[in-house]
Every structure is written in C-alpha cells, then in structure tokens.
Amino acid sequence: MSASALGGTDPKDGEPAPKNSCFFSPISLPCGRIVPNRLVKVAMYEHMADMFGGAPNSNHFGLYSRWARHGWGMVITGNVQVSPTHLSLGRDIVVPATLSAKTLEPFRNLAQVIHLERFCSETRRAGNTTTLAIMQLSHAGRQSPNVLGGRPPFARPLSSSPIALGSGRRGEGFISRLLHRLLFQTPLEMSLENINDVVEAFVRGAKLAVLAGFDGVQLHAAHGWHIDLIAQFISPKTNRRTDSYSCNFANSLNLLHRIVISIRKTVPVDFVLGVKVNASDYVDTFSVAANTSGDDPTRIEGQKTVQELRALEHVRTMASWQMIDFIEISGGDYETPGTFIEPRSNGFWSFDSLTTLFLAVEFMSPSALSKSPRQAFFAHFSHNAMRALTASSEAVLKTSPLILLTGGLRTLSHLETAITSRHTDLLGIGRVSITCPDLPDVLRRMENVKGKHGANEHALFAPEPDLTLGFFGSHRIGHLVWPFVSSIQLVGAGAGMAWYVVMIRCLAKRGGEGSVQMDYNMGAVGAIFRMWITTERSYLTGFVATGFVLLLAGLVLCSAHSIT
C-alpha cells in the first residue's frame, strides 16, 4: 500500500509528523547519534550481488532508494560478509580485501542512497534528522554451503566446534539428513589464529563502513539462513570448546567482546555499534517438545527459567561494556522451523514461543506463514531485557543500549503497544518493508486521521503469500509434487525466503518510481526457480545454479527410491 492511497499530501512533501507520536519521536543512542523515529528497516537476505560475492550494484541502489524516500528512522543493510570463503547462498555483498578508492566507491554510493544524497538538491539534511545508515556485518561459519559458500567443493568451513549442521535434531527424515550432508560439510574447529583473523575481518568491515559514510554497523550474532559465526560461539548447540572461547557463561561472549572492543578502538566516538541476538539460542527446544509429550512440567519450567536468566544476563553483560548502542532481539533458528505455541490471552507471546520461532520476520517456512498470528513474537523477552537494563546501576543505565524488537508487528495497535508498554525502544520491520516500503508515510497518515475518521489498521499490510501452492502457482503437477518437496525442511523454509527475495528484486528494478504489485500466484518452487534466475546479465549463472540444485534433488530422489 502507498501513502497516497489514504489521501492527502505526502509527509515528504511537507506534512509534519503527528504531534506526541510514539512512532515519530526521536531517541538518542548512547554514542550521541539520534534516531529520528522508532521505525527500523531491519536486515534481510537480498541475493543480488555477483555470484560468489561482490560489491553493491545498481540493484542495491534501486532497492534502497525505495526505502530512503519514506523516512525510516534507521535502515540496516542486508548481511555484508566479512569472509569471501564463508558466504551464505553465493550472492552476498562482501567486504573487499583491500580498502581503496575503487573498492570503496560502490559502498559509498549505497550510503549516499540511504541518506538521500543522490536524490536531494542538498548534500545532506541538516543535523541528526536524517535516516541512519547501518551496515550489517556477518560471517556464515558452519552454515556456509558447498561451492556457493565461496570455497572449492567439499572444502570445510570454519566454526566454533566440528558440529555438522542438522546434527542433534530429532525426527528429521532421511531426505533432509541427506540434503544436509550434501550441502553442508562438518566444519573445522577454529584455531586461535583463525579467531584472530575473524576479529580482524570484522574490524576491516567496520573501517569500510566508516570510510564509505555509513553511520554504524550491526554485528550479526543471531539466527538466520546465514546463522552467524558469533552465534555459533554463544550457543551450546554449536560450541563444545574447552578453552577461553568455550560456551560456559564466563567465556561465551568472549569472541563478541573482542570484536566490539576492537571496533570501538578503530571507529569515531559517535559511530553506531549494534548487535543482533537470537532469544531462542538460549532455549532447549527439545525440552519444550518433551514437556508437550508428558515430561515433568516442573523440571521443564525450571530449565526454561535458567535459560531465560542466562539470556537476560548476557544482555546485562553486553550493556555493562558501555560500547553497544542497540541490541536487536529476534528468535528461532534455521534448524528448527515451523512449530508454534499459542500466545497468551494478552496478545503477546509467552517465552515458550521463543523456542519455536525462526528467522525473525524474514525467512519463514510456508507452514509457519499459514499458522502464526504474527503478532509481537518476541515481546515478552524484549520487555524483560528492557527491565533488566533499567535495573542496572546508574552508571550503566546512562550508556544502556536501546532495544530493537523484530518480528510479527503487523497492526497499528500492536506497534503502539510494543512502544507504550516498554517492550521495546525501536520497532524492527522486515517482510513488511518489502510489501509496504512506504510504511513510515502510511503510519504518519494513519496517526493524523486517527480519532477523526478512523484508521483502517488492518489494511496496513499486504497479505502473506500462500506458499502451499505447487510447482508453478496452481499448476496441477505442482500440487502433486509440493507435499513431498515441502516435507524437506531445507526446501520448505527456503521457499518463503525465495518469494521475498523475488519481491525484493521487483522493488530494486522499480527503484523509487511507481508501485510494485506483489505476485501471489508465483508458487513455492516457482519462487525458488525465479530467485536463481536473477538479472539479465546473469541468466547463465542462474541456470547453472538452478541446475546444481536440481542435480542434488535428483540424487536425493534416487537415493530415497533405492532405500524404499
């Protein structure tokens, strides 16, 4: 939906933000920078760089120009990988090995797009009222796949411990296990020298952001299709080390702490530094599953209490460093998609729900999209995190990071409640920033008319795609194939991601001009196919990548047939 659909004048053309607005009141970060409003376009997977990694290109400039024109408080880029040999799905932006005028130029252009410098007559809006441009830095670790991850075939990635992706998950079918083995190698445990190299890589990424004109960086330490190396050191599911980087409480944040300290020594005082964390990394999903199957509820509740306290203590510890400006709270991970627990009667999720949600708002499986009420998934934990920070000492409180809540905020009333009930300082918007890129303009209009003519808050967001459709939309062959294909968790979760990637590409091609019609007839596997057939100049590589995926699928089907 566009702002003009609600009638009146666009805010960017002169309409002021509503007075006493909970959305459009500015808020200060500990570093001194000001976020002009509470709406944050959070990072999502984009799949638009060159194959095997590259710099931002015209597709990125067109995409971010769409968001830049509508007055978001902060815009966080998609993941920028600090290691060219640990990509997610091949088309990631990558920090260049050397920072020169030539390598900086495309990153500088992207920062200028977000700041509207390429679209306004003035070089930059005065003061701190401009949208803050934040670069997300990431390292995929063990979830970097074969070949597409930027390494030779079957070369092993690095991680905290040699624990294969998918290991330890119960109830996984044979085909899912086989796909994991084909696509992902068991990682190598990182040496101390490897860890030093990773710290330096993140520092180089921060230097890149400074030199390119970004206002800050966010360290990805959470879930996602490209679950990050930092999270792999924090989570007991992936870290079995016994050295100073082990997962016991005293050591579990050591890698993150080293990166934060090293970056702060390198960047200006007013440079924004954020961290994205995953609430469900702290929760044993199998305990919840056991609870539903008849295990002692008292024992399970005790485990969950300990896990929540661990998570909150990590937040307090990060705040005590007095170096972080905001912490994004999201939940779930790629290995456990698609299970849901009903919300409490007050409309917010209980902490139990954090054990089963995955990929924040951007990469949901089709079953999740159809079952979830999609309202404030992580508000309970986010609220407790804010309470924990408020209870800190006065010295820490002055430099406490803001909390950014990401996930399922889909009506005006829920957005308002999240802010006014102190569940969060900032509102993270993912998928909705694709279906409604002018959301800040829409909310300004709705706040202005609220109480006068009423606001149709349920028309705020476009509907979710029906990814239960078959191979190519409603084609009858697809209806026969999709039930089998979607039972493979890797494929099921990937279909939701692919649909939004294709829609992101549509936004990028249109740039800041005109509206974009969401394609709800694409179908799940059709979305995956179109995701790989990217731009006109890359049809060949798209077909090669698609062929590679189809070849793996053929091997899987043959193997399954031979066993049955």
DSSP 29-93: -TTS-EESSSEEE-------S-TT-B---HHHHHHHHHHHTTT-SEEEPSPEES-TTS-SSS--E
User: Of 3.20.20.70, 3.40.30.10, 3.90.1150.10, 3.40.50.720, which CATH number belongs to 33-336+371-462?
Assistant: 3.20.20.70
Max mean pLDDT range (196-210, 331-345, 461-475): 196-210
Mean pLDDT for 157-166 is 90
Please indicate whether residue 307 or residue 384 has the higher confidence score (pLDDT). 384
Beta bridge partners of 74: 40, 132
Q: State which H helix or E strand residue 27 sits in.
A: strand 27-28
Position 135, amino acid: M
Q: Specify the pLDDT at position 154.
A: 84
Please indicate whether residue 86 or residue 518 has the higher confidence score (pLDDT). 86
Q: Specify the pLDDT at position 171.
A: 54
Mean pLDDT for 468-489 is 54
Please indicate whether residue 32 or residue 444 has the higher confidence score (pLDDT). 32
User: 251-279: b or e for each residue (b if 16 or more CB lie within 10 Å)?
Assistant: bbbbbbebbbeebbeebeeebbbbbbbbb
Q: Per the structure block, which two tokens stand in for 335? A: 């290995």
Task: Classify residue 514 as exposed, middle or buried by CB count within 10 Å of its CB (0-12, 13-18, 19+).
Answer: exposed
Q: Which of 97-106, 260-269, 439-448 has the least mean pLDDT?
A: 439-448
Give dist(CA 429, CA 439) in Å, integer: 9
First vs last C-alpha separation in the chain: 49
Reference 228, options 220, 236, 239; nearest CA is 220
Q: Specify the pLDDT at position 392.
A: 62
Pseudo-torsion of CA 185, 188, 189, 191, nearest 10°? Answer: -150
| pLDDT surpassing 50 at residue 293 | no
Max mean pLDDT range (125-129, 329-333, 340-344): 329-333
| pLDDT surpassing 70 at residue 558 | no
Alpha helices in 391-475 (DSSP H): 394-398, 412-420, 432-435, 439-449
Max mean pLDDT range (77-81, 139-143, 474-478): 77-81
Question: Which of the four pLDDT bands, split at 50, 70 and 90, describes residue 542?
Answer: low
Q: Specify the pLDDT at position 2.
A: 39
Q: Specify the pLDDT at position 482.
A: 55
Backbone angles phi, psi at 329, to 5 degrees: -105, 120
Q: State which H helix or E strand residue 404 sits in.
A: strand 402-406
Q: Specify the pLDDT at position 549.
A: 53
The radius of gyration of the chain's CA atoms, rounded to the nearest angstrom, is 22
Question: Which of the four pLDDT bands, split at 50, 70 and 90, describes residue 559?
Answer: very low
Alpha helices in 450-488 (DSSP H): 476-486
Q: Specify the pLDDT at position 513.
A: 61
Alpha-carbon distances, residue 401 vs 143, 231, 324, 392 (angstroms): 29, 19, 6, 12
Reference 134, options 368, 402, 521, 319; nearest CA is 402
| pLDDT surpassing 80 at residue 337 | no
pLDDT in tens, 94-119: 999 999 999 999 999 999 999 987 55
Question: Which conformational region is residue 436 in: left (phi greater than 0), alpha (psi within -120 to 50 degrees), or beta?
Answer: beta
Please indicate whether residue 425 or residue 352 has the higher confidence score (pLDDT). 425
| pLDDT surpassing 80 at residue 41 | yes
Helices (H) and strands (E) in the chain, counts: 18, 14
Q: Specify the pLDDT at position 204.
A: 98
Please indicate whether residue 522 or residue 107 has the higher confidence score (pLDDT). 107
Q: Specify the pLDDT at position 450.
A: 61
Question: Which of the four pLDDT bands, split at 50, 70 and 90, describes residue 128?
Answer: very low
* Averaged confidence pLDDT in the chain: 74
User: In this prediction, what percent of the chain has a pLDDT beyond 70?
Assistant: 62
| pLDDT surpassing 60 at residue 147 | yes
Question: Which of the four pLDDT bands, split at 50, 70 and 90, describes residue 345?
Answer: very low
Q: State which H helix or E strand residue 406 sits in.
A: strand 402-406
Q: Which of 80-84, 161-165, 257-261, 481-485 has the least mean pLDDT?
A: 481-485
Q: Specify the pLDDT at position 401.
A: 95
Reference 435, options 412, 459, 471; nearest CA is 459
Q: Per the structure block, which two tokens stand in for 251? A: 């050591």
Give dist(CA 315, CA 321) in Å, integer: 10
Q: Where in the chain is the domain with CATH 3.20.20.70?
A: 33-336+371-462
The distance between the two most distant Cα atoms of the chain, rounded to a whole number of Å, is: 68
Q: Specify the pLDDT at position 289.
A: 41
| pLDDT surpassing 90 at residue 191 | yes
